[in-house]
Structure 1
Amino acid sequence: MSSESPAHLFEDDSQMLYTTMVGVMMAAIFAAGFHDDVDRTITRLAPEGTNYPFPQETRHHAAKLTSAIGGFLLGIFFWTLLNKLRWEIIRQLLKYRDWLYSPRSYKTKCWFLALSMLVPRKKYLYTFQHVLPHYPLPPLESTCKKMLQTIEPLVTPDELQEIRKEVKEFMNNEGPMLQAILEKRERSEENWVADLWDKYAYLVSRSSLLFTNFCSNSAIEKSDLSPCKIRLQSARAANITYHHIRFYQMVANRTLPPLLVQNLVPICCHRYRYIFACTRLPGLAMDELKTYDNPKHIIVIRKGVMYKVGVYGRDSSGNESILSPRELQSIFQDILDETDDIADTQWNPSVFTTQNRTLWFQEREKLLSNPLNKLNLSDVESALFHVSLEVENPKNLGEEAWHNLCGGGFNRWFDKSLTCTVYPNSAAGGNIEHTTADATMASRVLEYVWANSKYDADGNAHHPSPSHPIINAPCKISWDLEGLKPQISRCLANHQQMSSNIDMHAMKLLEGKGAIKKCRVSPDSFMQLALQLTFYRLHHKTPKTYETAMTRFFKFGRTETIRTVSMDSVAFTKSMDDASYNRSDRLKHLKAAMTHHNKYKLDAMNGRASDRHIFGLYVAAKFAGVAPKLFNFKVLTDYDQLSTSQSPYQFEKEQSDKLNLFPSGGGFAPQTDDGYGVYYLFLGEDRMTIHITSYRSCLATDSARFGEQLRVAMDDIKQLLRNK
């Protein structure tokens, strides 16, 4: 990343003006009121036997100059002092967490007022990084109590009694020692869990990235959620590429505006640096997340053929800049034309990235032993991002999501932080490696890209100046795969089997949170209870459930787990189809379950949930070489049978106001063989999309059937709330 420019030493123009004003005023005061004293002082301090160092006619001017310099330095001192005080007050204000729980309280209103008076008008990407609160470490007793509450609905009374006994043993034996390890980390680290989460939740995993990466889909029309207007594939790819690079440049030079909740409360921007020019490199036991400094190229893939494409050029004045969208379109069209006659997909090492991480590490070592392949790997892994020019059009949104997530084996380098996909019908999505970033960041990039993409009347990419007289032709990458083809064949077959097992279903609904808010409940709580009801009706059991909560109010924060399931949610799902319950009982259980969910969600966003703390204690136990029996219970160690997530659809008002399209969401694989992955996205007040995944190998699960029952559950809950 580039260093901060001198102008950024001042948070905004008012600070620079204030500094100048103070300096000038102090200089004027010194020069006008004290120059005689200064003159006498300088004369008195001169060595004995020497004359005053300035001629008589310049004494007064010298005194004024000296006073002016002193005054200016004094002004700088006071500005620095006041600025430090200002930021320290902001730091202390941001530690106040009750604004989420009591947004309308008098205390919170005063807090908002104080913060609004101190926050600078001009803000840059990392303006607030140095004052964000540290991620809190909850007390051991609090976490154990909350953990028991979350698992109680998932186990039998006898199992719960056994777990309670082990929790008590843990708190009296290993627990305090492990808590002390984490407390030491909390004192020495700005976020005690951040690097532990990256390493031991992501990088240490040996499973295929197919099951941890996530995908995004093309934009859709606001009116009816139909596919966006068709453009030339090369034109769409050009605009997608150009504006991704523009976004990267704003991250690199730190001019990207930070996101502020309610236009006031900052969130952490640290992980923007991993969206571009970043690759997850395989390791024998643990992978490595590597970033690259200022690369100038992307990788384009079509029919398995890979090209290194330079995306910068020099204009007629010799200044370097991004190739214009029209120039990029010409390059993409050349690649499309050159590969049109290729009948069969060409083999390349991409398929290795779909496999077990240790296997891929071993195959990569073989590639590195070949000088040609080593150079190719360097180009592929150091690229800003990849662009895959697809050959076949998806038939619907669900099929598009499946292709974006799975690929065909030779058109997704799963290690890469970002791969953009562009189809012949100009639908465009992406595949994101999850270690690098979460869905909210990828969604913000897409908002910027779609909001700024422009086309002329003929459907070509808009051509802003400057143009570049010399544009380097794409460089075709040739691999030496001698001796690797048998393994490539086996890996391809394995990838095809894993991919075909993923059942992806997408829904577009011409209804949204507006109708839910009329029922006077939280739209997110509504959806979570609808998902619980759907699962229970289909499978007659309560699933261990995960929902993502953002913890980016804290420095280096990422996510925490919202545990939707409660005793009230179980009572609600059981009561809905039980004739022995009346409407009042069902409504009571529903409201109690929603209250629990909303409270737990706020706790998770504030670092007061239990999952990350339990995770930290588990990792600390590994470090300490102890094995508490508590961590042997399946209810704690099993993955979530129902994995859910959502994100905002708007991020920057300036960008969203320019956008006449909606994002269509995306998807991810389920965590368990008999589970579901559900991503839902509210689009304005009366639109939404839902992506559902399951595994075809499990006869009990079916994504389309789950979607149908989810619609029924949503209608049933609305009816219950409306007739209360």
Structure 2
Amino acid sequence: MAEAHQAVGFRPSLTSDAGEVELSAPMLQEIYLSGLRSWKRHLSRFWNDFLTGVFPASPLSWLFLFSAIQLAWFLQLDPSLGLMEKIKELLPDWGGQHHRLRGVLAAALFASCLWGALIFTLHVALRLLLSYHGWLLQPHGTMSSRTKTWLALVRIFSGRHPMLFSYQRSLPHQPVPSVQDTVRKYLESVRPVLSDEDFDWTAALAREFLRLQASLLQWYLQLKSWWASNYVSDWWEEFVYLRSRNSLMVNSNYYMMAARAGNAVHALLLYRHRLNRQEILPTLLMGMRPLCSAQYEKIFNTTRIPGVHKDHIRHLRDSRHVAVFHRGRFFRVGTHSQSGLLSPRALEQQFQRILDDPSPACPHEEHLAALTAAPRDMWAHVRRSLKTQAQEALEAVEGAAFFVSLDSEPAGLTREDPAASLDAYAHALLAGRGHDRWFDKSFSLIVFSNGKLGLSVEHSWADCPISGHMWEIHLSISLALRGAKTLSGNIDCHVFPFSHFGKSFIKRCHLSSDGFIQMALQLAYFRDRGQFCLTYESTVTRLFLEGRTETVRSCTREACNFVRAMEDKEKTDSQCLALLRLAVDKHQALLKAAMSGQGVDRHLFALYIVSQFLHLQSPFLDQVHSEQWQLAASQIPVQQIHLFDVHSYPDYVSSGGGFGPADDHGYGVSYIFMGDDGITFHISSKKSSTRTDSHRLGQHIEGALLDVAALFQEGQRLKRRGLGEEDSEHSRDSLPCHTRGSRAPTTATNF
């Protein structure tokens, strides 16, 4: 989601906070350090690794095996085929009176060896099974006998009652794709948006890259993939997030909405308790294939600490308070007593005292949080003075489980003006007023005066501060606040619910719901700008150990052919429908390839990082990382919709969340399926851009969805209903339900 903005045009700084040396070390040393970081992570959670390392067995299974061996020995049977006698001979001779003890120790050692061998065999078998991705590549709705057999074997070797991290040791490592395949796929992805001359130039750069540098860079990546947990994820976190010097507000954070506050803080802390005990079930695709759970570890007690050249993530094992911001003041609210977690009522009383407290903010305390929205190097310098003069206060915020902002204004959907209220809600969550969010914290809980709430999430997982009232930092706060207000005021958010149809209609069309929406977005963008552009859609690579994301380049040649056909009056509905199916099939193929580790962008990113470490100039890789993503579009998955009835309790439905645009002249679009019959879109752009308008694109999206649906017989009725007599007057004014073949807007210009 928000990663699209961070990934665009990044330039890795190969220096450390200490000055010159650490990252300018030889490439082999960097690969060694990557592997060392992986092993340190494993050692830091030794007990969890022990419990999950023996899965699908359990420590009790060892006791059962030992007891069975002892029983067999008592019955004068030797299940070890003489091995226990050899083990006894190797044990010290403590005299005849300890003969029985030596037998017990020999049985225990044999049981441990046999138990370990069985577990190792199970792990190897499960890892081999989880390395199979053929099920991803099968046509939608079909399952071969080979995949059915695979599912049965996974079920057998997966064991029962898995904990959150149970599958981590069995997940395969993310493979390094063939560099030739990656370059070929890249050229295929940029062909629709480049002129013939530009494409020929790019292809020539690619051929030169394959001839001169590719094999060396690829060799280093292969070496890293053998040694480290993941060949790309640690570099992605470091160079795309932690080394970015831009403000976190809008650029890195994204927001999430919920419909009712309830007992939010208590519920989040209960969730943390279950997380620490691994009582959260691992995410399983198809109810069987586990995804990597590594990212769960840093949800709570985590802060992104600013550095001059590079940030770092600080994660605490535990925290027994939350930091609260209200009317310019910072508070430390304890969450536990000696007997454990405080009750919702006890927490509510503490929050009420904060709300009733009439005391004013200390000098400069009110706008202190604006520093977290400042450029990272500036915030790093100011934080050093804070750390010496207000260390206790700073620790109170950075050491909190999470950050809570009690806003004095209401927010959320209103019946009087639903569109404007949702837009304001989205803006409040994404940017606030620039000084009322601590953007460094892994997440901030925002509670509005009418009980609505939301989450503002820092995308790399990290950070939060305190009240400070030193005159020495007055100028820095003023500059940061000015920048934060400018950035906040420049973001144009638009949220609109699309209620004409939803996932159930798309399923009846026998199309992928995500592919359907992505093609409609391509049509909407073309109508908005009169051209095609590179499109960034994020998907997960959590099928692999410590996998994060990969990019699906949704603007394909097939998508462009479909859009051109929709704008061509001479094309029939059946011709457009055939092109739509081809475009959706292509999109699904790209999505499945990305999920199975065969994407384009993370491989090119890793090759680029290696080239920088080796000081090798590659015009091709420079060209790749200078690309502009003027459309970033992602679906927000819904996994818990079965827990409530969305028709009977619509107020409990989350409206999803959004993120800032990836380009100053681009759009950020997220969407969430609301049950089976609705979709909510979140659109963002920059007000400073003369080429974009979030509300205008929203109208184009609504029109494009109806036009694509009209290619199907049932969709024609939906379109007529969308322009029915009861709202035809309103529709003519605000809903651009285009007829096919309508020209792109006359204001659109190719840039």
Same fold (TM over 0.5): yes
| Residue 219 (structure 1) shift | 2.8
Decide whether the 8 Å contact of 2:329 with 2:362 is kept in 1.
Answer: no
1:189 equivalent in structure 2: 228
Does residue 499 (structure 1) correspond to residue 524 (structure 2)? The answer is: no
1:115 equivalent in structure 2: 154
Q: How does 1:7-86 map to 2 (within 5 A)?
A: 8=51, 18-33=61-76, 53=96, 70-71=106-107, 73-86=109-122
Closer, same or farther: CA 507–478 of 1 in aligned 2, 3 Å: closer
Of stretches 19-28 and 266-275 in structure 1, the one that deviates more from structure 2 is 19-28
Closer, same or farther: CA 354–261 of 1 in aligned 2, 3 Å: same
Decide whether the 8 Å contact of 2:538 with 2:550 is kept in 1.
Answer: yes
Q: Distance in 2 between matches of 1:361 and 1:6?
A: 35
| Residue 64 (structure 1) shift | 7.2
Q: Distance in 2 between matches of 1:655 and 1:269?
A: 25
Q: Distance in 2 between matches of 1:431 and 1:9?
A: 32
1:325 equivalent in structure 2: 344
| Residue 292 (structure 1) shift | 1.9
Does residue 560 (structure 1) correspond to residue 584 (structure 2)? The answer is: no
Total equivalences in the alignment: 647
Does residue 337 (structure 1) correspond to residue 356 (structure 2)? The answer is: yes
Does residue 419 (structure 1) correspond to residue 444 (structure 2)? The answer is: yes
Output one character per residue of 1:396-447: Cα deviation in whole Å (capped at 9) or x when no partner: 222112111112233211111110000111000011100129xxxxxxxxxx
Closer, same or farther: CA 681–368 of 1 in aligned 2, 3 Å: same
Of stretches 10-19 and 79-88 in structure 1, the one that deviates more from structure 2 is 10-19
- Percentage of pairs with the same residue: 30
Q: How does 1:89-238 map to 2 (within 5 A)?
A: 89-102=125-138, 104-220=143-259, 228=260, 236=262
1:443 equivalent in structure 2: none
Closer, same or farther: CA 212–22 of 1 in aligned 2, 3 Å: same
1:539 equivalent in structure 2: 529
Decide whether the 8 Å contact of 1:28 with 1:68 is kept in 2.
Answer: no
Decide whether the 8 Å contact of 1:215 with 1:429 is kept in 2.
Answer: no
Supply the AA of the counterpart residue of 2:66. G
| Residue 218 (structure 1) shift | 3.5
| Residue 252 (structure 1) shift | 2.5
Show structure 1 runs of 5+ residues with no match: 55-61, 221-227, 316-320, 438-475
| Residue 654 (structure 1) shift | 7.3
Does residue 303 (structure 1) correspond to residue 303 (structure 2)? The answer is: no
2:427 equivalent in structure 1: 402
Q: Distance in 1 between matches of 2:113 and 2:497?
A: 59
Aligned residue for 1:89, secondary structure, equals: helix
Which of 516, 520, 540 is matched with 1:530 structurally? 520
1:433 equivalent in structure 2: 458
Q: Distance in 1 between matches of 2:67 and 2:211?
A: 66
Does residue 518 (structure 1) correspond to residue 537 (structure 2)? The answer is: no
Decide whether the 8 Å contact of 2:537 with 2:633 is kept in 1.
Answer: yes
1:363 equivalent in structure 2: 382
Q: Distance in 1 between matches of 2:610 and 2:48?
A: 41
Q: Distance in 1 between matches of 2:61 and 2:655?
A: 47
Q: How does 1:561-580 map to 2 (within 5 A)?
A: 561-580=551-570
Closer, same or farther: CA 659–615 of 1 in aligned 2, 3 Å: farther
Does residue 289 (structure 1) correspond to residue 313 (structure 2)? The answer is: yes
Q: Distance in 2 between matches of 1:527 and 1:339?
A: 50
Closer, same or farther: CA 74–179 of 1 in aligned 2, 3 Å: closer
Q: Distance in 1 between matches of 2:298 and 2:290?
A: 19
Decide whether the 8 Å contact of 2:254 with 2:459 is kept in 1.
Answer: no
2:9 equivalent in structure 1: none
2:271 equivalent in structure 1: 247
1:452 equivalent in structure 2: none
1:225 equivalent in structure 2: none
Q: TM-score, structure 1 length as denominator?
A: 0.84
2:393 equivalent in structure 1: 376
Output one character per residue of 1:117-168: Cα deviation in whole Å (capped at 9) or x when no partner: 1112111121111111101101110111000000101100111111111111
Aligned residue for 2:664, secondary structure, equals: coil
Tell which structure's C-alpha radius of gyration is larger: 1
Aligned residue for 2:543, secondary structure, equals: coil
Of stretches 707-716 and 244-253 in structure 1, the one that deviates more from structure 2 is 244-253
Aligned residue for 1:209, secondary structure, equals: coil
Does residue 710 (structure 1) correspond to residue 691 (structure 2)? The answer is: no
Decide whether the 8 Å contact of 1:209 with 1:354 is kept in 2.
Answer: yes
Output one character per residue of 1:595-651: Cα deviation in whole Å (capped at 9) or x when no partner: 110000000101101101111111111111111111343x65223100111132115
Supply the AA of the counterpart residue of 2:491. I
Aligned residue for 1:136, secondary structure, equals: coil
Q: Distance in 2 between matches of 1:577 and 1:398?
A: 30
| Residue 306 (structure 1) shift | 0.2
Of stretches 521-530 and 4-13 in structure 1, the one that deviates more from structure 2 is 4-13
Aligned residue for 2:135, secondary structure, equals: coil
Does residue 585 (structure 1) correspond to residue 575 (structure 2)? The answer is: yes
Which of 376, 391, 394 is matched with 2:408 structurally? 391
Q: TM-score, structure 2 length as denominator?
A: 0.81
Q: Distance in 2 between matches of 1:91 and 1:489?
A: 54
Closer, same or farther: CA 72–602 of 1 in aligned 2, 3 Å: same
Supply the AA of the counterpart residue of 1:214. N
| Residue 15 (structure 1) shift | 5.1
Q: Distance in 2 between matches of 1:139 and 1:557?
A: 18
Supply the AA of the counterpart residue of 2:688. S
Decide whether the 8 Å contact of 1:214 with 1:667 is kept in 2.
Answer: no
Closer, same or farther: CA 394–596 of 1 in aligned 2, 3 Å: same
| Residue 366 (structure 1) shift | 2.6
Decide whether the 8 Å contact of 1:304 with 1:348 is kept in 2.
Answer: yes
Decide whether the 8 Å contact of 2:372 with 2:379 is kept in 1.
Answer: yes
| Residue 259 (structure 1) shift | 1.3
Supply the AA of the counterpart residue of 1:629. P
Output one character per residue of 1:148-197: Cα deviation in whole Å (capped at 9) or x when no partner: 00010110011111111111111110222211221221122120101110
Decide whether the 8 Å contact of 1:210 with 1:406 is kept in 2.
Answer: yes
Q: Distance in 2 between matches of 1:679 and 1:112?
A: 33
Aligned residue for 1:420, secondary structure, equals: strand
Output one character per residue of 1:298-319: Cα deviation in whole Å (capped at 9) or x when no partner: 100001100111211113xxxx
Decide whether the 8 Å contact of 1:26 with 1:68 is kept in 2.
Answer: no
2:674 equivalent in structure 1: 683
Supply the AA of the counterpart residue of 1:92. L
